[in-house]
Amino acid sequence: MSVTINDVDKIAKLAKLRFAEDEKIKLQKDLNKILEYIDQLNELKLDDVEPLENINETENVLRKDEMFKWLTTEEALKNAPSKTGKFFKVPKVMDK
């Protein structure tokens, strides 16, 4: 299967793109090269090849969930220069 100029025109119309004639010819050549490469890949015998899930042969290392003592709201706000209730009060950064 090869791409024709009409195919390039249809693709450009679907993508709402416009190309000059020399650009259409270049795109036609590029698309045909891509299809040739796909044909080469289709010739490979891959029946006995397992699908690849991860390029790196590493496994996910999970850590144990542990509880930690975190700051309470009061402790976090203790040194705040300005606060409103249980929230930090910061200067306005946007006009609207």
Eight-state DSSP code of residue 44: S
Predicted confidence (pLDDT) per residue in 46-79, tens digit: 888 888 877 787 777 888 889 888 889 999 999 8
Say if 58 falls within a structural domain: no
Q: What is the pTM of this model?
A: 0.51
Say if 14 falls within a structural domain: yes
Predicted confidence (pLDDT) per residue in 17-32, tens digit: 999 999 999 999 999 9
Say if 69 falls within a structural domain: no
Q: Please give the residue range of the domain that contains residue 15.
A: 5-42
Say if 95 falls within a structural domain: no
pLDDT of residue 20: 96
Q: Is 87 helix (H, G, I), strand (E, B) or coil?
A: strand
Say if 65 falls within a structural domain: no
Q: How confident is the model at residue 40 (pLDDT cuts 50, 70, 90)?
A: very high
Check which CATH number belongs to the domain holding 38 and give it.
1.10.20
